[in-house]
Amino acid sequence: MSTDSTEFESRVRDAIANPQNMGEMADADAVGTVGSSDCGDMVRLFLKFTEKDGKRVIDRASFQSFGCQTAVAVASMATEMLKGKSAAEAGSLSAEELSADLGALPPMKIHCGQMVEGALRAALDSGTDDGDPAPAPRDPGALAGSLAPSAPQTGKIKIVPIDG
């Protein structure tokens, strides 16, 4: 029995017992969806921005997960972590940072964190610039059509943006 994996499982259980910010956000400024071609899971992240002290920052984030419990746990933590961050600050967060509260992810679960990072990047690409206070476009067609670039692809598992 591995203490590390037991601790990891218990942290995941705690996180999914009361997941934060789960669900669709009807008034989101940005939406990003990614899927893993390996496990078939998907994560969608919603961002709502606000102006604070002349700076455009994330007011709220929420997620939908069509995936495993680890992806739900990471997304729950990540959406809390994103509040108050600029697009540039959010975009610099790695999967490891987004899932830091769970501790190191077991090798088979690393892509679950990468899915959340991928969804975040897809959302930032869809609806924001790099922290410029100018308002982002709200045209839903523009959001849907701009999911293509910069999905993280690491190791054997490919995380891909999904239109929709």
**Residues carrying an active site annotation:** 39, 112
Does residue number 71 form part of the binding site for ligand FES (CB under 6 A)? yes
Considering the complex, state which of residue 38 and residue 139 has its C-beta at the smaller distance from ligand FES.
38
CB of 10 to ligand FES, least distance (A): 17
* 99 scored as a contact of ligand FES (CB under 6 A): no
By CB under 6 A, name the one of 33, 36, 79, 86 that touches ligand FES.
36
- Which member of 12, 15, 56, 67 binds ligand FES (CB under 6 A)? 67
> Which CB atom, from 47 or from 112, has the smaller least distance to ligand FES?
112
Contact yes or no for 29/124 (Cβ under 8 A): no
**Does residue 70 bind ligand FES (CB under 6 A)?**
yes
